[in-house]
Amino acid sequence: MEPEDLEKIEDIDLLDEDIDLDKDYDEDDSYKEDDDRHAQTIVFNDEIVKSILEKGKGKGVLTIDEINAALEDIEIEPEIIERVYQAAEQMGINIIEDESEEEDLGEDLEASVEGIGLEDHVRMYLREIGKVPLLTAEEEVELAHRIEMGDEEAKRRLNEANLRLVVSIAKRYVGRGMQFLDLIQEGNLGLLKAVEKFDYRKGFKFSTYATWWIRQAITRAIADQARTIRIPVHMVETINKLLRVSKQLSQELGKDPTPEQIAEEMEMPVEKVREIMKISQEPVSLETPVGEEEDSHIGDFIADENAPAPSERAAYTLLKEQLLEVLETLTPREQKVLKLRFGLEDGRARTLEEVGKEFNVTRERIRQIEAKALRKLRHPSRSKKLRDYID
């Protein structure tokens, strides 16, 4: 790639004030905006973007599919994609639509998602949206123009005609922690936003523009909902990149790469790679079945660090038995006073006043009964049974 071409990329203003960047955190707005802008800059300057533009520069043409495939794992604002297209145009790269896209949208929807395991209501939905005819480029422009004029019917038609596009995109994300129908619903929200923002004057087909809004809605929903512990969207992107690099190195090396090898490939500190690998781990339920018969759970094999050792529990049981046996040598009243005063039955020790109310006597009288009972327990005939338990 020529130096002047790189300058064309860098000169494009990616951070126009009119771009409404979605917020990913719960802290103050200034932090969220700065972080998002920083993430966008990193994304655009990623080597993947530069390599796809270099590829297009070499042959003078890029297909929409090539751009989509190159940026598939990158979280990037749909508006920023327009800047990528601008850079391509300024570099003399001709961007063309793919006929395969029309073929994919025109095929039978149920057949296209075979193997996902659809429920009846999902199949019914696919049949219904499959009946809606696709729009021509001229019809899209006409509807977009009517939408600008505030025509709600045109907005509805453009949306309904592209519902099958949502399905074709959503099926690529099955198995990432969300149900297929949930993916479709999230993608439909992205489609609605694309309908609102589509500018037919820029020359792109609506499906090309909507694809990015649909993908963004789905990937952000996965980041927000698919994990037990939520991970910010830009971190999900980093995790995806790390997994992609790790898989590539595994194929090249014939073994799992070390964090040091991944760090070298990603030009990132090893500590950062280890941190990302730790964050990417999914929590596992203690109720997860294990074994062929699935009659055991993971929790059965994890030691409770707060639980006493078996030897301590056995000693405690024997001590309790011996203590009750010794208490049996006292009078019923003395037994009850000691049990209440030391919480031997329920773990809660009572005051002299509380025990006095229990027996309807003064606290001094309870003190006397307690002292007498303890003197009896200190007698060698009784204390010898408990002496072995004293450390």
What is the CATH number for 294?
1.10.10.10
Average pLDDT of the segment spanning 199-215: 84
Residue 263, domain member (yes or no): yes
Same domain, 292 and 323: no
Same domain, 136 and 74: no
> Which pLDDT value is given to residue 48?
65
Handedness of CA 246, 252, 256, 259 (dihedral sign): negative
Same domain, 123 and 193: yes
Residue 111, domain member (yes or no): no
Among the candidates 189, 205, 226, a domain finishes at 226
Residue 109, domain member (yes or no): no
Same domain, 363 and 314: yes
Same domain, 263 and 317: no
Same domain, 265 and 332: no
Same domain, 180 and 274: no
Q: Are strands 61-63 and 296-297 parallel, antiparallel or unpaired?
A: unpaired
Residues 6+ apart with CB under 8 A from 93: 53, 56, 57, 60, 61, 62
Same domain, 19 and 90: yes
Same domain, 314 and 296: no
Same domain, 210 and 297: no
More confident residue, 151 or 71: 151
Residue 25, domain member (yes or no): yes
What is the CATH number for 139?
1.20.120.1810
Average pLDDT of the segment spanning 217-239: 78
Residues 6+ apart with CB under 8 A from 186: 170, 178, 217, 218, 220, 221
pLDDT tens digits along 59-81: 788 777 777 776 665 666 666 67
Across 38-47, 57-66, 170-179, 310-319, least confident range: 38-47
Number of domains in the chain: 4
Residue 296: domain span: 238-301
More confident residue, 185 or 13: 185
d(CA 279, CA 281): 6
Among the candidates 169, 195, 226, a domain finishes at 226
Residue 219, domain member (yes or no): yes
Average pLDDT of the segment spanning 205-214: 87
Confidence of residue 117 (pLDDT cuts 50, 70, 90): low
Residue 113, domain member (yes or no): no
Same domain, 82 and 2: yes
Across 28-32, 53-57, 101-105, 254-258, least confident range: 28-32
Q: What letter does residue 281 receive in the DSSP assignment? A: P
Among the candidates 68, 98, 128, a domain finishes at 98
Beta bridge partners of residue 95, listed in sequence order:
62
Same domain, 41 and 126: no
Residue 110, domain member (yes or no): no
Residue 107, domain member (yes or no): no
Q: Are strands 61-63 and 94-96 parallel, antiparallel or unpaired?
A: parallel
> Which pLDDT value is given to residue 105?
59
